[in-house]
Structure 1
Amino acid sequence: MLENNGFQVPQGEAGGAGRTTPSPLSLSKLLLFTFVLLITIGAVAQVANFEVGMFITQWLLILPPALWFLKRYKLDFVNFARFKSLDLKFVPTLLLLVVCAWITSMFAASALIGLLMNYGYEPLELIPPPETLGHLFIYYLVIAISAGVCEEVLFRGAIMPSLEKQGYFPALMFSTLLFAFFHGSFINLASIFFLGFIIGVVVIKTGSLLGGILYHFLNNALAVTYLYLANNYNLESHLMLDDYRVLILILLLALAGVFFGLRKLHEQGKGIYIWRGKERWLPRGWLNWAAVIIFLLFVIMASLELLMGFGFLTVV
């Protein structure tokens, strides 16, 4: 291994003229640095003003390290990071996947929260619901667009393709795990992992980072729209969400939509096989000191979330 400014560069792994492929340790260091910025400067900024803090977090704390990383390793933003145009044939499939996968994730998170509430857990308001249409529009800007662009450049533009020489599947799994830990929530861990996994599949199958950006944007836009409607129009009662038969029907339709959407995406992305030739679940070198620290930071944040939810810890 050669050491390049604190990042390990595997010898002999070239991905183009003047370009080397970063190692899992290099990527873990990148994310650890960004994670520390998020839980320090980003957290303070969001407490002071949520909307401004979200904007600062995404555009000043998450995106610049990712862009620096791509430039430092001379990684082609077009071919390596897949910043290419998105074939419009994928759009209907992505729309179906977004809606159905979001509904499925909602059920999973709600089931976990319902289980914990039996033991005294009170759900935390992690994102203040938008109260007006103007407020909702701001949320589209700082949550849907900002996260859709900045987080995708980091996770699916820099981290995931850096590992694809070891296979699509290990690269997809490792980048998705880091994505889930990065959000620091136990309650939403499974949902965020599911989101990151599907976005990774979308980017690989479409061959375009714009596919991931569009999916991430639509997912977050759907989430904040639901927050707005639920907060202002008592959406649950109108949708008869207290009827378990309706809930089961919605869940079954959503699961069927996810299955059909992934199958359609597989057919449209001909010649790209994520699971073919899979020799391992995670890339070589995935277990490193930086990745361990990222996991420990996640455990701390998830523990604080649970302690506050169960009333053992109060933030003034």
Structure 2
Amino acid sequence: MNPGIIYTIVRKELLETLRDKRTLIAMIVIPVLLYPLLIILVVQVATVQQSKIDQATSRVAPGAGAAPEIHAWLDALEQVEVVLSGNPGRDLREGHIDAIVRAGPDALDALNADGSAEVSIEYDGTEMRSREAMERIREGLGLRAREMIEARLADKGLSPQYIRPIEIESKNIASAQKKTGSLLGRALPMMMILMLGVGAFYPAVDLTAGEKERGTFETLLSTPTSKMEIVCGKFLTIFCLSMLTGLLNLGSMTLSLVFTLSQATVEAGQGDAFNLSLLQVSPSNVALILVLLVPLALFICSVMMSIALLARDFKEAQNFVTPFFILIMLPGLFAGVPGVELTRTTMFIPIANVALLCKQLLIGQGSAEMVFGVLLCTCICATLSLVVAVWLFQREDVILSEERGLPLALGRSAFTPRSAPTFGLSLLLFGLSLLLLFYVGSWVQQRHVIIGVIATQWLLFLAPTVLILWYARIDLKQGLNLRAPAPGALFAAVLMAVSLLVLITQAAYLQNQVLPIPESVKEQMERMLSLDKNASPALLIFAIAISPAICEEVLFRGAILTGVRTRLPAWAAILVVGVLFGLMHISVYRLLLTGLTGIAITYLVVRSGSIFAGMLVHLIHNGALVLLLIDRVPEKIGAPMMRAQEEGFGPTVLISALAVLGCAVGLTEMTARGRVRSDPPTPAPLGSGA
């Protein structure tokens, strides 16, 4: 893949788009000008209408049989006109009056006897004038009632504090930044999603279905440019236009909203609580929101491009993409519901998680773990959708189809036999496994940890991996590195596992000095990872040690590793697979530790050529941790290990662990030189399968 060719394609597509004045007007000029005008116009109309209501006089009719004193009370109220009506109920329904005040015939007698008079206010809640009249009457009669109470207390020689033993004062301590963020958080995330979708809609349709309709796709495919370069160029064009349109529209609407709020606040005489509200949001949080827009835009653009690619012409593409455009609005609406917050569950709902995180960042909240989880989930969704888009673009039955319906054949016979999965398929396996862990595995594990872990490993990690490789006609022996290990590799695995127990524990201690785990996260992890001391040790070993050693290794050091190695050199593949292994554990506090462990195990598998060496390291490492947790190791070993979590290891232990790790690496290299190393598997030509 040539970056220069991709840049040329992006430049060509952008120039063509920018030269189309109608496109620029429809995508940028009209929204940038129209949305602020609409916002200002609506607010101004609402302000004028409210001003008219505030200045108008409320027409109030006393109920039948009301005492003259009731008339006097109503006449004393400001902006209230007493209207006599023969049928006040009908007049209220027809809008001739705004409210009715009714009092019982014995109301005055009750007041004279130091009792309470029952007064009811009838109004039409659907009419603003009627609601305003009700508020004026309630406030005025309430003031009259307080005056009567004070008079009664004075007659008895009592102070007003006698009937108010507790004075309650409410004080809003929210800062101006938090007030601003709370207000913007109700609308800004929804506008953000909407604007990104608007920016991606037209380019996604025009650069795919539009090409088909104009008949230029065949010409494009006949050039020496590869399909990967074409799809990357078109995708980056759609992404750039989406971000440009989205940011321009979002900025325009935000500034309009801030200006309108400032004007409304000044006119209402409420000070400067919302003045310059955009500047009262933390700049770091604003920058983080902009970072979140990137994977969100990647996800929306790749999905829209994939959907539009299935259409035969421009009109059909619009029909296909419009439902998705409507669909992405629902998570934004969900995030705007009062009381909905970002939790460990909503953190993994695509699009909604970004909206909820933006809402929390605007009010100055949002933990590092939440930011990490949302970024991870959004990036995974974007990667998966982009992999699907690339795969669709490589299929001529999709690109050149003129038949109605979805031009997509998914039969197993359509796949070409391979010795290893493609790079895209390996990423697809990782994303699918991560999403299954998000939405299914975490739910099962919350109900029963041990059974949930076993089900996650065998049903969500191993089974989908093997089935997908089989369906894609991948040679399982080569694609999963199922080769017999050399004795030296197994011995190196034992040495590596022992050294990692010490070194990873020390790394955890050092990380806690820089990035301490919050107490709430510790408690949550302890609940999720708590082991029943009465449970069978064999069951615990099977769930926590044996199952991950088999299932996770088949996924990472098997399918993902062989797929990544078709595109990357060995050292890069080791780093990538190690990082993906760390990301799978869905915690910013475990990313470094599990990532380092994954890099070490991946190195061993790459150099030994056998997944079984990695399984052995994984088994010993997890098995030892389980035995430590259930107190099944000698005190001389267990006590220092548990103490090291709080104090770290001494220099002697660390040097010894590094020496053991060095021996493991040396033995691994000696074993690697002593075996005939086959070339890394290569995928079949593009366009011949998944």
> Same fold by TM-score, threshold 0.5 exceeded?
yes
Aligned position for 1:36? 435
Give the corresponding residue for 2:561: 160
Name the structure, 1 or 2, with higher relative contact order (CA <8 Å, separation 6+): 1
Q: Counterpart of 2:536 in 1: which secondary structure?
A: helix
Of 30-39 and 81-90, deviating more is: 81-90
Counterpart position of 1:302? none
1:21/1:120 CA distance change after superposition, 3 Å: closer
CA distance in 2, matches of 1:70, 1:33: 13
Q: Structure 2 length as normaliser, TM-score?
A: 0.35
1:111 is displaced (CA, Å) by 2.2
Identity of aligned residues (%): 22
Instruction: Report the residue type matching 1:39 in the other structure.
Output: F
Q: Is the 8 A contact 2:497 2:621 kept in 1?
A: yes
Does the C-alpha gap of structure 1 residues 93 and 44 become closer, same or farther in structure 2, counting only changes over 3 Å? Answer: same
- 1:217 pairs, out of 597, 613, 619, with 619
Name which of 94, 99, 110 aligns with 2:509: 110
Q: Post-superposition shift, 1:21?
A: 5.3
2:602 to 189, 197, 200: 200
Give the match's secondary structure for 1:267.
helix
The reply on whether 1:51 has 2:450 as its aligned counterpart is yes
Partner of 1:304: none
Q: Using the TM superposition, give the Cα deviation of residue 198 of structure 1 relative to its aligned residue in structure 2, in angstroms.
A: 1.3
Please, which of 539, 548, 556 is the counterpart of residue 147 of structure 1? 548
Deviation for aligned residue 1:81: 1.7
Q: Which amino acid in the other structure matches residue 391 of structure 2? A: Q
2:574 is matched with 172
1:1-316 mapped onto 2 (5 Å cutoff): 1=227, 6=388, 8=391, 18-19=417-418, 22-117=421-516, 123=522, 124-125=525-526, 126-132=528-534, 134-166=535-567, 167-229=569-631, 235-236=638-639, 241=644, 247-270=650-673
Unaligned ranges ≥5, structure 2:
1-226, 229-305, 307-386, 396-415, 678-690
Change (3 A) 1:121 1:90: same
2:606 is aligned with what amino acid?
Answer: I
Q: Do the aligned partners of 1:152 and 1:209 also contact (CA within 8 Å) in 2? A: yes
Question: Per-residue deviation at 1:115?
Answer: 4.4
Q: In structure 2, the residue corresponding to 1:82 is in which secondary structure?
A: coil
Contact 2:549 2:619 in 1 (8 A): yes
Indicate the RMSD between aligned Cα atoms, in angstroms.
Answer: 3.5
- What CA distance in whole angstroms lies between the structure 1 residues aligned with 2:453 and 2:661? 30
> 1:18 aligns to what SS in structure 2?
coil
Does the 8 A contact of 1:63 with 1:153 survive in 2? Answer: yes
Label 1:173 to 1:273 Cα distance change in 2 as closer, same or farther (>3 A).
farther
Specify the SS of the correspondent of 2:463: helix
Residues 76-102 of structure 1: per-residue CA shift (max 9 Å, x gap): 111232212222232222111101012
Counterpart secondary structure, 1:186: coil
Any conservation in 2 of the 1:21–1:73 contact (CA below 8 Å)? no
For 1:171, the aligned partner's letter is A
**2:99 is matched with which residue?**
none
Superposition deviation, residue 44 in structure 1 = 1.1
SS in 1 for 2:478: coil
Structure 1 residues 91 and 76, CA, compared in 2 at 3 Å: closer, same or farther?
A: same
Tell me how far apart the structure 2 counterparts of residues 181 and 211 of structure 1 sit (CA, whole Å): 22
How far did residue 119 of structure 1 move?
A: 8.2
Residues 181-209 of structure 1: CA distance to partner in whole angstroms, max 9, x if unpaired?
01112222111111111111111222211
Q: Is the 8 A contact 2:506 2:649 kept in 1?
A: no
Could you tell me how far 1:212 is from its partner in structure 2?
1.3
**TM-score when scaled to structure 1?**
0.73
Counterpart secondary structure, 1:184? coil
